[in-house]
């Protein structure tokens, strides 16, 4: 598989002077849709992975092998450079190193490791807590050590802007940049003043998620070194709603013919690359 070329494409997005929105994907078909629509990168979130693979909420009950397996299926199906949310790396710094090794083999173009204390410890009552900066930096160094393809992007992620405060976030992103990460991933930036302060603290590209509406302007974000800005994961929730509504209608007696979009057949044929498979059948199984 052409993993290196798509990692190079992802790095070109980070080195550009624009900010782009990624396509939120969760399986091979959604990745091909995002690719066909022209998205520069895809995003596979840990929360979406938990719901897709397990039908479970985002409580870190998904395992590394399950996550890497789905990431590989997505990567194998398209040429879309894939950014994945590797949560806390599934354990301590040694687990982070292993996580990077597995996800690199799965074909991802970039991954983020966060400094949230996960899974939620006993007595936390669901409150988000962060590990120490020293432990976080150790995880980032381990992530870099686990990388074999130097084109694979490792992003240090923190939710400090909304969990603690911006000053703490500044200390964290500086420490993670010093540890060698290729980008920092900021979650929970609420104002432009906060982003201004954070962008001045680092020289590496910024990936932004869960930002306030005041911040979301691509030209402004680009001027602050933000190269990728998440928009949420509406494609997955929309797919869930569509399946629910279709099954509900069928259960209530609707005719299947009344529910099928006549244009969907051609769309599905394209997304499943039916022409390619027909060609391979003729070449390898004999002409029909």
**The two three-digit tokens of residue 47, written as one number:** 């929360």
Calculate the average pLDDT of the chain.
95
Asked if residues 75 and 106 have their Cβ atoms less than 8 Å apart, the reply is yes
Q: Which domains does the chain have, with CATH numbers?
A: 3-233 (3.20.20.60), 239-285 (no CATH)
Collapsing DSSP to helix, strand or coil, 107 comes out as coil
Q: What is the pLDDT of residues 255-269, one digit of tens each?
A: 988 887 756 778 999
* Contacts of 201 by beta carbon, 8 Å cutoff, 6+ apart: 170, 173, 174
Give me the pLDDT at residue 260, please. Answer: 73
pLDDT of residue 286: 85
- Write the DSSP assignment of 238-265 as a string of letters: HHHHHHHHHHHHHHTT--HHHH--TTHH
Task: Kindly tell me if the per-residue pLDDT of 288 is higher than 80.
Answer: no
Confidence of residue 81 (pLDDT cuts 50, 70, 90): very high
CB atoms within 10 A of CB 288: 6
Length of the chain: 288
- Residue 125, pLDDT score: 76
In angstroms, the Cα distances linking 106 to 3, 26, 40, 109 are: 9, 15, 19, 9
Tokens of 209: 């998620």
Q: Are the C-beta atoms of 155 and 181 separated by less than 8 Å?
A: yes
Cβ–Cβ < 8 Å for 74, 42: yes
pLDDT, mean of residues 230-255: 95
Q: What was the pLDDT predicted at 262? A: 57
Identify the pLDDT of residue 180. 98
Q: Is pLDDT of 189 > 90?
A: yes
SS3 (DSSP) at 156: strand
Per residue in 93-135, pLDDT tens? 999 999 999 999 999 999 999 999 999 888 877 789 999 999 9
Mean pLDDT in residue range 38-57? 97
Contacts of 51 (CB under 8 A, 6+ apart): 57, 58, 236
Which 8-state DSSP code applies to residue 59? S
The pairing of strands 226-229 and 42-44 is unpaired
Mapped onto helix, strand or coil, the DSSP state of residue 228 is: strand
**Per-residue confidence (pLDDT) for residue 266, from 0 to 100:** 87
**pLDDT at position 51:** 98
Mean pLDDT of 33-56: 97
pLDDT band (50, 70, 90) for residue 226? very high
pLDDT of residue 287 exceeding 90, the answer is no
pLDDT of residue 133: 98
State the pLDDT at residue 243. 94
- For residue 38, the model assigns a pLDDT of 97
Looking at residues 44-66, what average pLDDT do you find?
A: 97
State the pTM of this model. 0.95
């Amino acid at each position: 598989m052409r993993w290196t070329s798509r990692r190079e494409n992802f790095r070109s997005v980070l080195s550009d002077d624009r900010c782009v929105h990624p396509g939120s994907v969760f399986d091979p078909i959604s990745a091909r849709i995002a690719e066909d629509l022209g998205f520069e990168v895809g995003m596979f979130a840990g929360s979406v992975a938990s719901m897709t693979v397990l039908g479970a909420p985002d409580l870190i009950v998904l395992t590394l092998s399950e996550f890497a397996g789905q990431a590989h299926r997505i990567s194998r199906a398209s040429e879309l450079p894939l950014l994945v949310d590797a949560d806390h790396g599934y354990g301590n710094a040694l687990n982070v190193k292993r996580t990077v090794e597995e996800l690199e083999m799965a074909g991802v173009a970039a991954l983020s490791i966060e400094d949230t204390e996960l899974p939620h410890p006993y007595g936390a009552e669901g409150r988000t807590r962060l590990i120490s900066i020293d432990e976080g930096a150790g995880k980032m160094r381990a992530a870099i050590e686990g990388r074999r393809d130097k084109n694979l992007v490792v992003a240090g992620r923190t939710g400090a802007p909304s969990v603690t405060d911006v000053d703490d976030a500044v200390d964290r992103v500086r420490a993670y940049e010093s540890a060698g990460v290729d980008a920092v991933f900021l979650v929970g930036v609420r104002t432009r003043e906060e982003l201004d302060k954070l962008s001045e603290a680092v020289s590496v590209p910024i990936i932004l998620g869960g930002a306030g509406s005041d911040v979301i302007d691509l030209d402004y974000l680009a001027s602050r070194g933000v190269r990728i800005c998440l928009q949420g994961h509406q494609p997955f929730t929309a797919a869930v709603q569509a399946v629910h509504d279709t099954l509900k209608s069928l259960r209530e007696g609707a005719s299947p013919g009344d529910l099928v979009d006549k244009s969907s057949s051609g769309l599905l044929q394209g997304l499943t690359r039916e022409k390619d498979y027909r060609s391979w059948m003729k070449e390898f199984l004999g002409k029909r």
